[in-house]
């Protein structure tokens, strides 16, 4: 009997069908590293691949993806944030491992932290009120992400108890936190839509923020603050009747994680991407997707077509950089965020996006700020804020110079398609070492 051999062959087949084949090629292109992934097709597999690359802060210059029956092929042309090909063998091996496991999903666990989800109407100073409440309730903010769009705000905030250093699990304390944050979010005119909750989800944080803003229907809101923008994304949707596809075209300014934001939204709206391309030139990105519903049908009504257009425009705009980028690196302490954001508010600065992180005992925070009505902040006002918070602690990025002055020099030039993000691949590795306690931060 040959059953054991048959069993081995069957196990090999199952492993092959569920394990993506990853090929990384540095010889085919002079300007980018080519990453090829082919795997069995399943809903969301493209998002998992894109997410694995963007979590490493790689810039996707070009991409092609196509589904043939039950099989899926992705080809990505990627560089680091400085526009260079990938040469570090450790990084290449890490990419191969990450992409090789996308069929099994990925877990996102914030051990020892309590996750708070907030959505509501944005207003000047709201973030300072939120952090002040958390400080009063003895919550230490360890990590957070804040997005604003169309007059709405969504935030994921990870906290622990100030005294014990453990997650907050007492139901009465949690209820008190939720109630007080809800009152802050309601303000005078947001009685119905303000929401707070303690999340038990382990969804990727950026994907969860998209889901929160989508559920809040930010794509159809009229903003109170009219933030200025160089250009709005152009989105068109047409049906290719002969082939049964809906063809989605997106053209906009290129930036970090743009492809992730678009694919994430299409996936969470329950569309399946069968074919697609993305091309970038200078600072412009052009994307085309051939999509269907999960049941194999194309977009079937004008109302649905308009909804897809609005949702994709919102997906592009949520993470777009609005305002001056301020980077804070200083020793962490209880109430730090409340003090910093209160200083912003007292000087008429509005926070449009924020990313908060803590490494060992060091706070590394990024804020995008405008003036109170959404225009570019006065550079002199920014300098006053820096004086109050500490010139060495709060650094200015992407600030246009005053007349007759050159911009501040910086050791790390703002490069890449849309400017460097907070972490490069190298700093991602260093951050992992921080958590292991092997090196110090803020040297």
Mean pLDDT of 297-302: 96
Confidence at residue 39, expressed as pLDDT on a 0 to 100 scale = 85
Look at 192 and 408; give whichever has higher pLDDT: 192
Lowest-pLDDT range, 36-45, 226-235, 366-375?
Answer: 226-235
Predicted structure pTM score: 0.82
Confidence at residue 71, expressed as pLDDT on a 0 to 100 scale = 85
**Mean pLDDT for all residues in the chain:** 83
pLDDT tens, 168-201? 989 999 999 999 999 999 876 665 578 888 875 5
Environment class of 29 (CB within 10 Å of its CB; exposed 0-12, middle 13-18, buried 19+): middle
Confidence at residue 13, expressed as pLDDT on a 0 to 100 scale = 59
> How far is the C-alpha of 158 from the C-alpha of 116, rounded, in Å?
6
Confidence at residue 24, expressed as pLDDT on a 0 to 100 scale = 95
Give bridge partners of residue 24 from the DSSP assignment: 35
């Amino acid at each position: 009997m040959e059953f054991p051999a048959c069993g081995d062959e069957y196990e090999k087949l199952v492993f092959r069908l569920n394990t993506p084949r990853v090929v990384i090629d540095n010889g085919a292109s002079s300007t980018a590293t080519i990453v090829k992934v082919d795997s069995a097709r399943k809903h969301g597999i493209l998002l998992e691949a894109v997410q694995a690359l963007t979590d490493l802060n790689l810039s996707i210059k070009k991409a092609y993806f196509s589904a043939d029956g039950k099989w899926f092929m992705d080809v990505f042309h990627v560089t680091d944030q400085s526009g260079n090909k990938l040469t570090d063998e450790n990084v290449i091996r890490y990419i191969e491992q990450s992409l090789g496991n996308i069929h099994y999903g990925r877990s996102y666990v914030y051990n020892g932290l309590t996750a708070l989800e907030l959505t509501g109407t944005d207003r000047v100073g709201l973030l300072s009120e939120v952090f002040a409440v958390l400080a009063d309730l003895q919550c230490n903010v360890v990590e957070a992400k804040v997005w604003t769009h169309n007059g709405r705000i969504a935030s994921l905030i990870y906290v622990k108890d100030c005294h014990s250093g453990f997650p907050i699990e007492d139901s009465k304390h949690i209820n008190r936190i939720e109630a007080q944050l809800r009152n802050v979010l309601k303000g005078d005119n947001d009685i119905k839509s303000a929401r707070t909750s303690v999340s038990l989800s382990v969804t990727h944080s950026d994907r969860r923020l998209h889901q929160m803003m989508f559920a809040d229907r930010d794509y159809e809101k009229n903003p109170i603050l009219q933030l200025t923008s160089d250009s709005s994304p152009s989105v068109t949707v047409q049906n290719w009747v002969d082939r049964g596809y809906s063809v989605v075209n997106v053209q906009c300014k290129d930036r970090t994680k743009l492809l992730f934001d678009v694919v994430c939204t299409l996936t969470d709206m329950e569309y399946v991407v069968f074919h697609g391309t993305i091309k970038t030139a200078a600072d412009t990105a052009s994307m085309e997707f051939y999509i269907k519903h999960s049941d194999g049908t194309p977009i079937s009504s004008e109302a649905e077509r308009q909804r897809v257009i609005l949702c994709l425009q919102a997906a592009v705009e949520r993470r777009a950089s609005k305002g001056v980028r301020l980077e804070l690196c200083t020793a962490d302490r209880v109430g730090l965020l409340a003090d910093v954001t209160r200083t912003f508010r007292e000087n008429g600065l509005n926070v449009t996006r924020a990313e908060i992180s803590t490494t060992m005992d060091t706070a590394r925070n990024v804020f995008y700020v405008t003036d109170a009505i959404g225009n570019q902040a006065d550079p002199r006002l920014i300098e006053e804020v820096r004086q109050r918070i500490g010139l060495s602690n709060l650094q200015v990025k992407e600030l246009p110079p005053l007349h007759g002055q050159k911009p501040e020099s910086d050791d790390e030039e703002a490069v890449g398609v849309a400017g460097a993000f907070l972490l490069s691949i190298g700093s991602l590795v260093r951050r992992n070492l921080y958590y292991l306690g092997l090196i110090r931060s803020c040297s």
